[in-house]
Structure 1
Amino acid sequence: MAKLLILSDSSRYSISKLTDELVSMGHQVKYMNISNEPLALSAVNEYDLTVLTSMNPYTALSIALTIGKSINSAAGIINALSVTKLLKEQGLDFLMVAGDSAVKSAFTNGPYYFNTAWSLGLGGFVDTVEGARSILEYRHYLKNPLASASILVKLTGEESRVFATIKHSKYGELLRRLNLHFAELTVIDGKVTEANPTPEIPVESVKEVAQVVAEYAAGINS
């Protein structure tokens, strides 16, 4: 059985449920909340696998890039945070804009789904070029380099959230292509527009996530 480390930066009930589920499967599990105790990255590599959940995904990425095996992996987290990668994997066309002139040139008949090229939770619909210009100005005001480029996509419809693992009947294959094992997906018209690779795990999905983690850990140790 595997020696597992669960890392988060917030306290969530589902983490204790996941810990209990993995222990019941025979695994040795340690949980750390890095908001409460410091993390020595050298110590992480004592574990067969690190599970990153209920954590800012950019914090998780900085950890995943410096340790051995994690779920999700650094490559998967990068794929999830790249909105352009998500759209490309689903065959969706988009226009990238980084300035006022580009927005005016690209914008024809709204509405558009207007998001940053890197996932920051700033995506939404915009109906007019004036609205798009105002949003872009705000994103530049943030002084965040990840918000400097935006994308326009022709999508309409209700936005919903779906938690999925690689076992999901509809989104499992997309997750595999993105090198993800689980994620919280933002879905519009059946298309994934954002993916959080280190979400809080819904309590009803804990058993499925534990199975995914256990199967991956078994592959590492085989």
Structure 2
Amino acid sequence: MSTSTTRDRLIAAAIDQFDRHGYDATSLNALCRRMSMTKGALYRHFPSKQALAAAVVEAFFERLHQVRGEVERHDRGPMAALAALTGRMCRAAAEEPLTRVAVRLLVTTELFDLLASVHVIGVTATVGDLLTQAVLRGELPGSVDPREDAHCIVAAMVGAQTLAVLTADRDHAGKRADTWEHLFNDLTARGRVRAPTVRSGVPVGAGRRGY
């Protein structure tokens, strides 16, 4: 078994255990038993549980960039891409273990101090870049300040993600994720940032292929 495969399997197992039991209640001993490996073998890949959790968050960052690439390949314009990207990532916080676990790790563990600001800065840069492209392509008026509006959108999106993740009843988490659709549509309907209406991460009028 290759080193990369073992590392990937450890990350996948950690996502499952963190999702089922929470970060604090997950022990490396239990993870080793599940993986049928010694602690020494695990330490060759991750020196601590915190390092393993950080790898989960890094996988989440990679997923964000992957989703951006997917929505932009359909070339529906930067604002349609922004609507689809933010909608999908908010819904993923309720529906996908990787995103759900990563958001929880960022807001409820010691990783907050280490990685939360990196995540917010990265997402803000992504949103700001799409807004800048929208201005350059004439989708938004030149008076729009991409940086200011990016902060506003990201603040609302992170709040919607956190609400979806921290809800006590996971059966209703998807409904909590719907909060983002209302927030995004409200933010973009005030005459400063205008975008397609979001429904479940898909701009209204856009085909569902690829989303």
TM-score (norm 2): 0.28
TM-score (norm 1): 0.27
Bigger strand fraction: 1
Bigger helix fraction: 2
